[in-house]
Amino acid sequence: MEYVAANPNKGPTLVRLAWHSSGTYDKMMKNGGSQKGTIRFKEELDHGANAGLDLAVAWMEPYYKKYNRDADLSYADLYTFAGVTAIEALKGPRIPWRAGSRSR
């Protein structure tokens, strides 16, 4: 939350990253979504709807490197966690979140 508090203009982009990373989840089929954090790859970032999200992916990379050192952190979890903490930091509601992706 400190990251967004110090850079409030980045908050909406982090929320957008979380949404675009996980918005394809199909509850009935139990597939799609943020698994593997594939939005970080050029092919997905090049999709028109994801324009500008390369910045948010770059902003999160130092956190991935720092916190994945001693933990089982996935890109998918990092991106969704960044989104929910950004909402809270921007005075939005607290959103329940739990880690769940095991893909890196």
Q: What Å distances lie between residue 36 and 3, 7, 68, 72, 75, CA to CA?
A: 24, 27, 14, 13, 7
Count of CB atoms situated within 10 Å of the CB of 68? 14
Query: Per-residue pLDDT for 90 more than 60?
Result: yes
pLDDT of residue 103: 44
Output the pLDDT for position 104.
42
Q: What is the distance between the alpha carbons of residues 75 and 81, in angstroms, rounded to a whole number?
A: 10
pLDDT, tens digit (0-9, with 9 covering 90-100), for 1-47: 688 888 899 999 999 999 998 877 667 777 666 767 888 989 888 98
pLDDT, tens digit (0-9, with 9 covering 90-100), for 41-84: 898 889 899 999 999 999 999 999 988 877 778 898 999 999 99
- Can you list the alpha helix ranges (DSSP code H) found in the chain? 2-6, 11-22, 42-45, 53-67, 75-89
- Look at residue 36 in the predicted model and tell me its pLDDT: 73
Overall pTM surpassing 0.75 (yes/no):
yes
